Structure 1
């Protein structure tokens, strides 16, 4: 039997297998090529973002493209372990830390900072913000830095408190005057004075002055002087005076409020007085009786009894009854001084005294308790002369009536 004009079945099956083999080979080659190309253009990198580690396979060419791929916007304040322009390499580790905003106010002057430090103390050190032992900080130095953190720093300064002359110094920040005084254990009384209000803030380089004011009551016993009352006496010769009632001083207790500032008396005010003993007025009789002159005003000689006395005899004071100082003299305007009975020889009269054949002018400037009637007492220098004279008769005549 013969076959003509038909396909060979064996050959046809062979062609299909060959075609399938070629297609499979092509697919494998494409896969291998793609794999080789992928492995060539990608890199396995590790990104540590704010302490969290992320494994990343990327086809990015450099760090900047990787950051964009991860949605990380790197600012100039952020911390990056490599440069943004560095090419990525397989196995590369990139550390990124985002900067936190920190607002610092020093004595109300505020400034904004950005930092990647973990704690407040490290941030302050990084920014060279030094603190003294007395400065006040609003947050703990070991506190964790968080975005938007506000740090208030009050710088301490020295203040002098002059407490009534005693000086105290203290380092303060934003204290009030009252708080400062409390810290220094300084208490004010109701009367003390201070050059500031207690609610006022303490100012830098200021001085607080306290004046210690004390008020105390003081009592004193004071004499009340007596007054002299003069009464006319018609039985007493004109020109004569006589104490008929002695005066006596009274007593009163005065109470003063004494104010002292820092121990010094600044005022003394009388607040009360009490009379504990009344004064007694002195009563003086003033003579109004006209004297009867027994000496002849025409200048005729009359007989008198005479004695002599000194300026410092018993009961004498060195001054005459008319106020003449005779402690060093026995003369007045060149004339001898005599004591008289004013009812016989008026005071200030000028007379002539005759002793034997000797005469001298005298002026009536004194009186005496024992000189009564027609008697004169002649002032001399010594007691011996007065004793030797004793009592003698003399003659007297008026030259000029006083």
Structure 2
């Protein structure tokens, strides 16, 4: 027969088993009804755990302003970055927020303001129109013209860095500038047979050519002195080459002379000073026929 000690020890074990069953039943009821996990009541089974409950994260209210709208959001997110992710708010590398995305969400969180920054490079193209230049020539009769070279427009390209803040431009800076020059057109216009009155009527198309009144004389091919049958500029003397004072009219200047025609300033003379002009002819007889007289001289472009 069992002794008294054995019987008492069995009764104690039975009471302890009943306590375990009752505690487990209570834990199951709390977990089912309230969603609360209860730690083990038996420290001998899990010494690291203590009796207590894991409570859910509380919701906090945060005000967000973005893209022109302000809204109040209740969230369980722990950081600003998690909040934006939950609300599907995307930020580009240029966008700005009032606080870093790693900032913890707190009960007294100040309103979050998102500023949209947009940076773009813009190219502006402007056409550089070509100019049609006219060149007078005695090789064509007056009234005739000939297109020597067609014109091609150029282009000016400017690159700008433009910054917008919430849709409003706040900065604009030129970062590059390139110019492709235009290729001008060239038209030859005839002079042969033109009267001085015709030339005066054409002054507008000649850019308002300057008209001078000069004192003219004539010289033949035998009067070009020490230049050995050549003019000062190296040109051969003859009809269409005139002597001028270089201080008054620059050598190489093209002109149209009343009752003489197209000419170029290609020579000088010891007696040719100021508004004096000496007209070259192909014969001494023609040169002497000029005498001394006033002539109108149109300086050509």
TM-score range, shorter chain: 0.3 to 0.5
Structure number with greater Rg is: 1
Larger RCO, structures 1/2 (Cα 8 Å, 6+ apart): 2
Give the TM-score normalised by structure 2. 0.37
